[in-house]
Amino acid sequence: MDEKGIHTDFLKRMTYGEYLNLDQVLNSQERLSEHHDEMLFIVIHQVKELWMKLILHELNAAIAAITKGELQEAFKMLARVSKIQMQLVQAWDVLSTLTPAEYMEFRGSLGQASGFQSYQNRMIEFALGYKQSHILKIYEKNPVLLSELKKSYEAPSIYDVSIEALRKEGFPINPTLTDRDFTQTYQGDPTVADAWLEVYRDVSKYWDLYQLAEKLVDIEDSHQQWRFRHMKTVERIIGHKTGTGGSSGVGYLKKVLDHRFFPELWDVRTKL
């Protein structure tokens, strides 16, 4: 088929590659070894970081929208986050084609570099409410980045602003929760549990809050699937070796599987 309208003269026009900065993106895969599979390792992790960038873009916008009471706008953003998370979960399937023998051929080239140091992953955890102060020391090498991480660390999480949304709706939320130290990981509160239980018992009355709760559950569910696939992929490739970044590897990844971002939203299922 002859497509006569296709543009072919780009001497003075922006191209697709220029718009996406593809020269820069596609020339950022610099192997430190000669091993064929190091390219897979680099590309997978770069792709995951790009998806994480979009997750943060959407999560931060959703936090701002919920704070302003614009729940419908937040729902679209949170639904998109869930879809992105599925891409991250499935990325482990590609990385798991890397065998232990193949990885050991270039693992030494990584030095102490590790996915444990992913600052975007930390910022996602902060946005979801999982705060760990000792993690910040990793990023002291870059003061600008450290400053951004501290802002995220000190800011209210998406669950904090959701609890505030419950209060604005008239639920008798413990007042210390909406003016607390947001650098501390949320541990749960009976007034929040009671509020969510009422929401779930009268869905038609609290439809927006009910939708918000389910969107949050979707995100935590997907994040835990990502954590589990991470743990199993690491176990499949390096077993129970210490991670390149010094963590206990599989042991650490198993431990974080027990953490819950939004505890009352899981407990409410038992109480209904």
Binding-site residues for substrate: 41-45, 103, 107, 244
Annotated binding site: 41-45, 103, 107, 230, 244
Going by the DSSP 8-state scheme, the letter that residue 272 receives in this structure is -
Among 98, 109, 100, which residue's Cα sits nearest to residue 34?
A: 109
Q: What does the block give as tokens for 231?
A: 């743990």
Measured CA to CA, the distance from residue 32 to residue 11 in angstroms comes to 36
Q: What does the block give as tokens for 98?
A: 């890397």
Those residues with Cβ within 8 angstroms of residue 16's Cβ, 6 or more apart along the chain or in another chain: 22
Residues 107 and 237: beta-carbon distance below 8 Å: no
Annotated binding site for heme: 230
- Give whole-number Cα distances, 154 to 20, 66, 157, in Å: 33, 18, 9
Measured CA to CA, the distance from residue 7 to residue 144 in angstroms comes to 42
Among 155, 168, 167, which residue's Cα sits nearest to residue 129?
A: 155
